[in-house]
Amino acid sequence: MVAAVVLDLDGLLLDSEHAWAAAKERLTRERGGRWTEAATGDMLGMSSTEWAAYMRDSLGVPMSAGDIDREVVRLMIEGYERELPLLPGAHEAVARLAGRWPLGLASSSNREVIDHVLDRAGWAGRFAVTVSSEEVERGKPAPDVYAEALRRLGARPREAVAIEDSGPGIASAHAAGLAVIAIPNRDFPPEPPRLAEADLTLDSLAGLDAEAVERAGGAIGRL
């Protein structure tokens, strides 16, 4: 039986992966670093601590990791003040699931960004717990952020379903022992072997309802 649902944020509820990449690229170029074609993919799923260190060490941004982190977050929040890029069906999907189960959020975004998005979207009361990967030891694909969300929810892995869009996210939830529904990100889709690890794949948030969660949760009993 499903007792809780844990959702990702970026790429699943928000069309934000390009915004993150643009903010990181802008800072890298403005400060004289070396942006690469691989950078966006390399940083996908990383915690803020991890991607800030990557920008410093691999992209040559001549700033401390803490300063890189703060500047990218500032650029993101400025952008979200102008427009919050919610994906079609996000409001409806969150409302449907919150009406049935306690919801958790397991995100690679910074705490400041998560709180800003939930406030602007009117979702602060929809989620019982929210976890940023900066609050755990390792970002996705490690299981830490999902394990912490379950701990705060008081739920066991076999009682929970994760909703994810990316390869690192699917790997993270799978490693934490949750059943996984994948809604592949159209711009950064999971590799086929990783997508195959999901218990159910949907085309869009329109299909994310109680029936889909219960179907994915059926895999729990088979573990």
Question: For the chain, which residues make up each domain, given as ranges?
Answer: 4-15+86-222, 17-82
Average pLDDT over residues 135-156: 96
Question: How far apart (Å, rounded) are the C-alpha atoms in residues 41 and 47?
Answer: 13
Residue 223 pLDDT class (50, 70, 90 cuts): very low
**CA 125, CA 70: separation in Å to the nearest integer?**
27
CB 170, CB 176: distance < 8 Å: no
Specify the pLDDT at position 220: 55
* % of the chain surpassing 70 pLDDT: 98
Residues 217 and 2: their CA atoms lie apart, in Å, by: 6
Distance from chain centroid for Cα 14: 9
Encode pLDDT of 39-57 as tens digits: 998 998 898 999 999 999 9
Q: What is the mean pLDDT of residues 153-174?
A: 96
Q: Residue 27: which pLDDT band, with cuts at 50, 70 and 90?
A: very high
pLDDT of residue 221: 47
For the residues 6-14, what does the mean pLDDT come to?
97
The CATH topology of domain 17-82 is DNA polymerase; domain 1 (1.10.150)
User: Tokens 């982190």 — which residue?
Assistant: 69
Instruction: Quote the pLDDT of residue 219.
Output: 65
Q: What confidence score (pLDDT) does residue 222 get?
A: 44
- pLDDT tens for each residue of 53-108: 999 999 999 999 999 999 999 999 999 999 999 999 999 999 999 999 999 999 99
CATH architecture of 4-15+86-222: 3-Layer(aba) Sandwich (3.40)
